[in-house]
Amino acid sequence: MPCMTDTLYEGLIIRSVGGLYTVECEGESVDCRARGKFRLSELKPMVGDRVLIVRPGIGEAVIREVCVRTNSLIRPAVANIRTLVVIASEAPPVTQPFLIDRVSAIAGHKDIDMILCVNKCDQKRGESLIDVYTKAGFRVIPMSAETGEGIDELRSVMTEGIFVLTGNSGVGKSSILNRIDPTRKAVVGALSERIGRGRQTTRHVELYKLPSGAYVADTPGFQSFDVERMDLVLKDDLAHAFREFADFIPNCRYADCHHVKEQGCAVRQAVEAGEIPESRYESYLMLYESMKDIHEWDLKKMGNRG
């Protein structure tokens, strides 16, 4: 094997479907397989990864190495995210705030910047979402892929790096991408069809290069609230992932306050005073509860084994 003399090329994984990767490398799209060892290791290549590939004259190109990641998510599976762009809507299919909060907790925990676009503004302005998330400290862009409202503002944010569009299925992610770059034609699905088929229109994660040089990932929308343990934050870190709690936490009476039922909890007082949106705090409690269960379940499992 002429391993020692192989020339390595650096590239970016822009697509991954069934073990086949598309790597953008020196202006070309190269289909690659991953070398065997990746399949079992933690560092399975993913969209957004910078990789080193070998391009033999004959036969398949192969990913040899995955470069160090700045961050990564499991769903959507993308690495090296600069900003997570959560798309929500108060028009059907209405976004549950809990969904946004769950994503924001993961982003907060992983130190990934997050902004919120409230889409379908032409049908419903979405005041309540705009209000809650502005108050919680996020940049919020009212948007309509139908009329084009807010598209320029989102485009102006996307100057370099990888942007990931996420949100519940049918909220308009692909439609927004098509507006941001009209030369793209991401497949958009009619709502009626979607419900009939019961599955997403966008089936896999893919990075598109914008004229600015930034990349944007269209992703399949999520439908369920499955507990994805890998991406969950530890329950002791959860409060810190809710960034707007930070100003109040130092004033809690007890240093180990979980902001659930404790006396003298400054977070709860801030909720009562209207300084923290109520729905954000409710999501915190729900996430806290779900993590508590996982923790106990893990302990039980360990107990059974030992």
Ligand X SMILES: Nc1nc2c(ncn2[C@@H]2O[C@H](COP(=O)(O)OP(=O)(O)OP(=O)(O)O)[C@@H](O)[C@H]2O)c(=O)[nH]1
d(CA 253, CA 230): 32
Residue 265 contacts which entry, Zn ion, Mg ion, ligand X, none (Cβ below 5-8 A, type-dependent)? Zn ion
Dihedral of CA atoms 128, 132, 135, 138 in degrees, nearest 10, equals -110
Q: Which of the ranges 6-14, 116-124, 149-157, 193-201 carries the binding residues for Mg ion, by CB under 5 A?
A: 193-201
| 144 is a site residue for ligand X (CB under 6 A) | yes
| 201 is a site residue for Mg ion (CB under 5 A) | yes
| 267 is a site residue for Zn ion (CB under 5 A) | yes
78-107 footprint of Mg ion as x/- string (CB under 5 A): ------------------------------
| φ, ψ of residue 4 in degrees (nearest 5) | -65, -30
Q: Which of the ranges 21-29, 44-52, 55-63, 196-204 carries the binding residues for ligand X, by CB under 6 A?
A: 196-204
d(CA 84, CA 161): 11
Q: Of 94, 46, 92, nearest to 71 (Cα)?
A: 46
d(CA 17, CA 25): 18
Q: 16, 80, 169, 283: which one contacts ligand X (CB under 6 A)? A: 169
199-238 footprint of ligand X as x/- string (CB under 6 A): -xxx-----------------xx-----------------
d(CA 197, CA 94): 18
| φ, ψ of residue 40 in degrees (nearest 5) | -100, -20
Residue position matching structure tokens 């309509």: 144
Q: How crowded is residue 115: how many other Cβ atoms within 10 Å of its Cβ?
A: 18
Near Mg ion in 154-173, by CB under 5 A? 173
Minimum gap (Å) between residue 201 Cβ and ligand X: 4
Q: 202, 205, 239, 242: which one contacts Mg ion (CB under 5 A)? A: 202
Residue 20 contacts which entry, Mg ion, ligand X, Zn ion, none (Cβ below 5-8 A, type-dependent)? none
Residue 95 contacts which entry, Mg ion, ligand X, Zn ion, none (Cβ below 5-8 A, type-dependent)? none
Q: Which residues contact 157 (CB under 8 A, 6 or more apart)?
A: 83, 115, 163
251: helix, strand or coil: helix
Q: Of 125, 126, 60, 133, nearest to 103 (Cα)?
A: 133
Q: Give the containing element (helix H, strand E) for 119.
A: strand 113-119
| 193 is a site residue for ligand X (CB under 6 A) | no
Q: 190, 234, 246, 299: which one contacts ligand X (CB under 6 A)? A: 190
Residue 267 contacts which entry, Mg ion, Zn ion, ligand X, none (Cβ below 5-8 A, type-dependent)? Zn ion
Near ligand X in 84-143, by CB under 6 A? 119-120, 122-123
Which residues bind to ligand X, rule: CB under 6 A? 119-120, 122-123, 144-146, 169-175, 188-191, 200-202, 220-221
